[in-house]
Structure 1
């Protein structure tokens, strides 16, 4: 009824990459355009890298993601390297100037081992002095409390190219320490459910995150609590990090 390819297409509709209107995209896009080589981890359908190429990026661009259906959409653009793999399989010695992990993809790393192995692999894929930019939701903001069918702000409605209208919302199915389990429901306007997507997210506090970065050999170059580059404080909803591989 609703295939993996449909889910990948829905992701593009729900998450258009637009640095002119979305503050998170406006944060990352100048970093990407200024770097001669970029590795986008958890690239999904590749919208950020595809736009970079369209806007004139002439350097090496590579996107890595384990989702084959998403990469099938990304591969419509053939002048970018698309790699089916998880972050811990990033190629060592690749010499990228910048690595990114957008869309809160870092929160899909659920264990200390997964975080360590991924950060270590990312560091190895960067050139000396290369940077890794990513974000994770700050646990103090308890974002998951707003992820509910009962919250009208959590509902999205999109129209597919075929003209079919779809509705999408989240629900939390469980909270276990740092791990929040959620479902995303895709339905028709009359409420007919087409598919339920499941996901687990880890909410790491800043001190725990910094310990992982240090253990993997990164130095923290910059840290922000919002997309306007404000400090991390008691009101922050994000932990936005630019880490550097020492030269």
Structure 2
């Protein structure tokens, strides 16, 4: 038996939030600590917001995620608001200085309607001058080619069990990659298989979706050191802000 709660706890083992180790975590922490009100869309188990409180953030922190088991772990801190739901259902209006989607969560928005609806909801949640910050894997890097059983990870989970975890691509159709994630015992007994679809948008398509949602790119990076997007970049890191409309006279 490998429950939803076990899977959420394993996520924290595989993906610890640690700005001292991971440049992407440090990139987001700087932005979060400088913002008065922050919403983390696709917050998962809440590692980024937990860390912000631990570091002394005194403003409003909100985490939104559709995964009930992940939110159960997130709620270990009660001084943060936790909301069950998806990006498209974000209920806020002009409430935040900063909205984030970390851990490539933006790629979980697969269908055009889902992308458009989510961006509209995020735009509505931003205050004037607010920022939406997220990253997506650059399709040119073809990251999915590394997702195979030969790159399995051997880990010990929070309950002390030895586990082997691997991914395997099932299909690549257009810009959507479907793959499975398997958790097994070291001897091979499979405990859990989860199927995921991710979308790999290029810069042109991504910016067209942002423009439809009344968002414009303030800054764009190809790595966590704030280097430009180049022909070898593995990331598309975007800081988007509400478009400024010219008032009619």
- The normalised TM-score by structure 1 is 0.97
Q: d(CA) in 1 for partners of 2:199 and 2:159?
A: 36
What residue number does 1:177 align with? 174
Give the corresponding residue for 1:222. 219
What secondary structure is seen at the aligned counterpart in 2 of 1:236?
coil
Distance 1:45 1:149 in 2: 26
User: In 2, Cα distance between the equivalents of 1:162 and 1:93?
Assistant: 41
**Distance across 1 between alignment mates of 2:38 and 2:152:** 33
Aligned to 2:183: 186
Contact 1:128 1:246 in 2 (8 A): no
Kindly indicate whether the alpha-carbon contact (under 8 Å) linking 1:116 and 1:212 is maintained by their aligned counterparts in 2.
Answer: yes
Deviations 1:76-133 (A, max 9, x none): 1100000000001112314200000001010010111111100000010010110000
Local SS of the residue matching 2:123: helix
1:33 maps to which residue? 33
Q: Per-residue deviation at 1:162?
A: 2.5
Task: Return the alpha-carbon distance in structure 1 between the equivalents of residues 216 and 176 of structure 2.
Answer: 26
Match for residue 195 of structure 2 among 179, 194, 198: 198
1:188 Cα deviation from its structure 2 partner: 1.1
Partners of 2:197 and 2:45 lie apart in 1 by: 20
Match of 1:87 in 2: 87
- 1:76 is aligned to 76
Work out the CA distance in 1 between the residues paired with 2:33 and 2:125.
19
Counterpart of 1:236 in structure 2 is: 233
In structure 1, stretches of 5+ residues that fail to align are none
Find the aligned partners of 1:92 and 1:194 in 2 and give their Cα distance: 39
**Is 2:20 the counterpart of 1:20?**
yes
Q: What is the match of residue 117 of structure 2?
A: 117
Q: Is the 8 A contact 1:65 1:71 kept in 2?
A: yes
What residue is the counterpart of 1:10 in the other structure? 10
In structure 2, the partner of 1:48 is 48
Q: Deviations over 1:46-98 (max 9, x none)?
A: 01000100110000000000000000111111000000000011123142000
Task: Give the RMSD, CA atoms, in angstroms.
Answer: 1.0
Can you give the 5+ residue segments of structure 2 that lack an aligned partner in the other structure?
245-249
Alignment correspondent of 2:163: 166
For 1:94 and 1:128, locate their aligned partners in 2 and report how far apart those are by CA, in whole Å.
7
The alignment covers a number of residue pairs equal to: 244
Closer, same or farther: CA 81–94 of 1 in aligned 2, 3 Å: farther
Is contact 2:184-2:192 (8 Å) kept? yes
